[in-house]
Amino acid sequence: MSETPVTRCAVRAGSYHDSVVLMQLQRSLATLPGVHDAGVVMATAANRDLLAASGLDAGADAGPDDLLIVVKAESEEAAGEALARVDALLRVRPGGEGGDAQDFRPRSLATALKQLPEARWVLVSVPGRYAADVADDALDQGRNVFLYSDNVPLDREVALKKKARDQGLLVLGPDCGTAVLGGMGLGFSNRTRPGRIGLIGASGTGLQAVISYLDARGFGISHAIGTGGRDLSAEVGGITAAQALDLLRRDAKTEVIVLISKPPASQVTRRLLALARAADKPVVVCFLGAPPPGDGFEEVCFVNSLEEAAVEAREALIYKRRGGMQEVPVRFAAGQRWVRGLFSGGTLALEALARLSAVLAPIFSNIPLSAEQRLPDPLRSQGHAILDLGADEFTVGRLHPMMDFDLRLRRLRQEAADPEVALLLLDLVLGDGAHADPAGELAPVVERVRADARAAGRDLDVAVLVIGTEQDPQGLNEQTETLERAGARVCRSVSALVEHTLLRMDQIGANDPEPGFPPVPLEAIQETHSVINVGIETFSASLAAQEAQVVQVDWRPPAGGNEKLASMLTRMKRRG
């Protein structure tokens, strides 16, 4: 009969090693004679739970900053021999057998920068609870930060990015997996040919996918700038994405820009689209999982997938296509900020609401897409509002608004009289059974409310979505011309209506990019062949393989992982 396996452990108090070193040690231990399994972790509660789930619970007394090594072996002797080899195995660095090319490893960022003063970037991949302090130190030293670490508190991310913005520096991350700057890959990256397409992405794998799709089509990139997954949230405000857009706008090697993200917060979307339209370069926007706000305008186009983003970027580079919708500026008065939509077609209203929800907030409706969008009182609008006037609450005892315009004209006058309203959206549906001359009834009211607004010292914009064919009895061209003579903008699709809305909203001061921050020097992305690495050692090896100068910091948790003592030291440092 075989002996029952024995489980033995060793604890190294306050002994820190990065996760790659621990992974390699675990693998090496598991291959030793007589060893069935092994676990090597920093002894956090989560890591200890994972060990227990794997049958490696030794019940050791260890804290989150202690190294915990657990071996399950066929005998006491095999377990003891395995644990006795830990020190020798730890001396095998990730970069190669028995050591690496860096003879001296500085223990601090300041010392590392004395070794490599030309370094513009500090790559940080230490545990999240320490990462913000390391990144903050790098900013104090005037360096840009690639913050690979995750589990960084949101308030620390906001503080770091605002500090970087104030100093003309970049913080990519936290949880930034990928960047390619001037041909140099940071973190996880693909090697590809130099090109003229610049990428910005909240997702590292998204950036890698587009790089790969472009490479397969024979195209390279100028830069790929990762922002971290939370950058485009309302709390962070797209600080890094905005800086990246500005950098690629100014970079002579970048001729087309691609922006990739999960659906951003609406106010962030508006700001980034305003910056994209001001870039004077084609910009391809892919907000994964959200309906595109429109088909494209000026030099900005929207796509629905990463592969489409690569295809559209390639086409834009080849043909330098410039988009289409140009608008005559209007003079909105101070306080004008709301968009109100009055639709007779429920599906048209729903599509407009879905597209505008990505870029307008707060937005309300009587046909909401979510509970927070429900308009409390359909008879009185608030914020941005999209109304389906053909819904049941508006059609009890009256004809549908495609036939009877009375309710919609009354509501049009009501919304136009609100001094905070800037733009009115309406639809006009032609065809058999509909109003015989809808534009003829709508146009005089549009003309009147716009004149009243001008008399009150403000401008009022009106856009009308016209659905119909030239064969319809109302006459498509005649209806369009009637509306245009009244001063309305006529759109032939919901996408065009939304594009018009975005262009108008950009003329409202609240959507202007924040002024007063120093630009990030172009050298930050063009001269990146010297890097300080604090954390995962394989990143140093990757950089060295790309012929970068790199200094690996021999980082350890401050105060040996004693959080109270570390906090006291940090406060003393800040006071000093």
Residue range 502-510: mean pLDDT, rounded: 72
pLDDT at position 98 is 39
Number of domains in the chain: 3
Q: Kindly state whether residues 285 and 387 are assigned to the same domain.
A: no
Q: Kindly state whether residues 363 and 497 are assigned to the same domain.
A: yes
Burial class (CB in 10 A: 0-12, 13-18, 19+), 528: buried
| Domain annotation covers residue 151 | no
Q: Kindly state whether residues 295 and 256 are assigned to the same domain.
A: yes
Whether the pLDDT of residue 569 is over 60: the answer is: no
The DSSP secondary structure of 417-469, one letter per residue, reads: T-TTEEEEEEEEE-STTS-SSHHHHHHHHHHHHHHHHHHTT---EEEEEEE--
Q: Kindly state whether residues 263 and 344 are assigned to the same domain.
A: no
Residue range 67-84: mean pLDDT, rounded: 89
- Domain finish residue from 319, 349, 381: 319
Percent of the chain at pLDDT > 70 equals 90
Q: Kindly state whether residues 477 and 347 are assigned to the same domain.
A: yes
pLDDT at position 565 is 54
Whether the pLDDT of residue 570 is over 90: the answer is: no
pLDDT-based confidence at residue 273 (cuts at 50, 70, 90): confident
- Domain finish residue from 506, 538, 566: 506
- Domain finish residue from 39, 74, 90: 90
Whether the pLDDT of residue 574 is over 50: the answer is: yes
Whether the pLDDT of residue 97 is over 50: the answer is: no
| Domain annotation covers residue 527 | no
| Domain annotation covers residue 124 | no
Q: Kindly state whether residues 355 and 415 are assigned to the same domain.
A: yes
**For all residues of the chain together, what is the average pLDDT?**
88
- The candidate with the shortest Cα–Cα distance to 231, out of 150, 178, 173, 187, is 173
Ranges 53-62, 348-357, 375-384, 495-504: which has the least confidence: 53-62
Distance CA 343, CA 493 (A): 13
Distance CA 10, CA 491 (A): 72
Residue range 516-533: mean pLDDT, rounded: 92
| Domain annotation covers residue 131 | no
Q: Kindly state whether residues 314 and 345 are assigned to the same domain.
A: no
Task: Dump pLDDT digits (tens) for 109-155.
Answer: 999 999 999 999 999 999 898 999 999 999 999 999 999 999 999 99
| Domain annotation covers residue 68 | yes
Tell how strand 6-12 and strand 67-73 pair up.
antiparallel
Whether the pLDDT of residue 454 is over 90: the answer is: yes
Q: Kindly state whether residues 277 and 207 are assigned to the same domain.
A: yes
Q: Kindly state whether residues 221 and 254 are assigned to the same domain.
A: yes
pLDDT-based confidence at residue 453 (cuts at 50, 70, 90): very high
How many Cβ atoms are within 10 Å of 70's Cβ, its own excluded?
Answer: 28
pTM flag (> 0.85): no
Task: Dump pLDDT digits (tens) for 158-180.
Answer: 999 999 999 999 999 999 999 99
Residue range 15-33: mean pLDDT, rounded: 83
Ranges 28-32, 89-93, 237-241, 501-505: which has the least confidence: 89-93
User: Helices 306-319 and 204-216: crossing angle, nearest 10°?
Assistant: 50
Q: Kindly state whether residues 194 and 222 are assigned to the same domain.
A: yes
Domain carrying residue 382: 338-506
- The candidate with the shortest Cα–Cα distance to 449, out of 418, 479, 426, is 418
pLDDT at position 194 is 94
Torsions phi, psi of 45, nearest 5?
Answer: -60, -40
Q: What is residue 283's DSSP assignment?
A: E
- The candidate with the shortest Cα–Cα distance to 232, out of 185, 279, 190, 290, is 290
416 within 8 A of 448, measured Cβ to Cβ = no
Percent of the chain at pLDDT > 90 equals 59
pLDDT-based confidence at residue 511 (cuts at 50, 70, 90): very low
pLDDT-based confidence at residue 56 (cuts at 50, 70, 90): confident
| Domain annotation covers residue 512 | no
- CATH number for the domain harbouring residue 185: 3.40.50.261
| Domain annotation covers residue 406 | yes
| Domain annotation covers residue 520 | no
Q: Kindly state whether residues 353 and 494 are assigned to the same domain.
A: yes
If you average pLDDT over each of 57-61, 191-195, 274-278, 337-341, which comes out highest?
Answer: 337-341
Q: Kindly state whether residues 381 and 481 are assigned to the same domain.
A: yes
